[in-house]
Structure 1
């Protein structure tokens, strides 16, 4: 029976790492994964990470204008309930919160 699993992440980087884990190691089709903001505003998460953090020399000048307007939501549609444990393990590996499904 098809089901949708959802989780929220504090940073865009955590969400992206989760998606890559699901696609590359679990073989989930990228078309079955949706990444969105937890709200209507553009957001990179509720915390800075990766390219949104301060740079070190000799990189270009750091930016402090990251859109920190809320968490990032990853939704995964799976046709096989047995895969739910794999998806939830990937969510947990990258510090997901509010896991549903």
Structure 2
């Protein structure tokens, strides 16, 4: 999306599960194209989040695998101006911190 009617919403998440939940809501409930949603480590280090979710903790205990928890996960999405309020709500309901639109 590259026009003036589009804004980028950003938020950070403590767990990968929370970030995935926000993305799922944006795409499935609000019709935002998945190619307009971006996920990255919030800082320079690669990370699976700042904390493990209950599901991730159980998975690690059962498999012996442990993901690197080095920081928060950043999610951003290019959304139409008419979708900003719903996108912000989806981010917050999923547990986002530092939600901003620009």
TM-score by length of 2: 0.85
User: Corresponding residue for 1:67?
Assistant: 68
Q: For 2:28 and 2:51, how far apart are their aligned partners in 1?
A: 26
Q: Map of 1:56-95 to 2, 5 A cutoff?
A: 60-63=62-65, 65-78=66-79, 80-95=80-95
Tell me how large the CA RMSD over aligned residues is: 1.9
Alignment gaps of 5+ in structure 1:
none
Q: How many residues align?
A: 97
Cα deviations by residue, 1:17-76 (Å, 9 ceiling, x for unpaired) = 110111111110000000110112111100001553035xxx83444x321111001100
Query: How does the TM-score come out when normalised to structure 1?
Result: 0.86
Pair 1:3 & 2:4 matched: no
List runs of 5+ in structure 2 lacking aligned partners: none
Q: Which residue of 2 aligns with 1:40?
A: 44
Bigger-Rg structure (1/2): 1
**What is the correspondence of 1:45-56 to structure 2 with a 5 Å cutoff?**
45-55=49-59
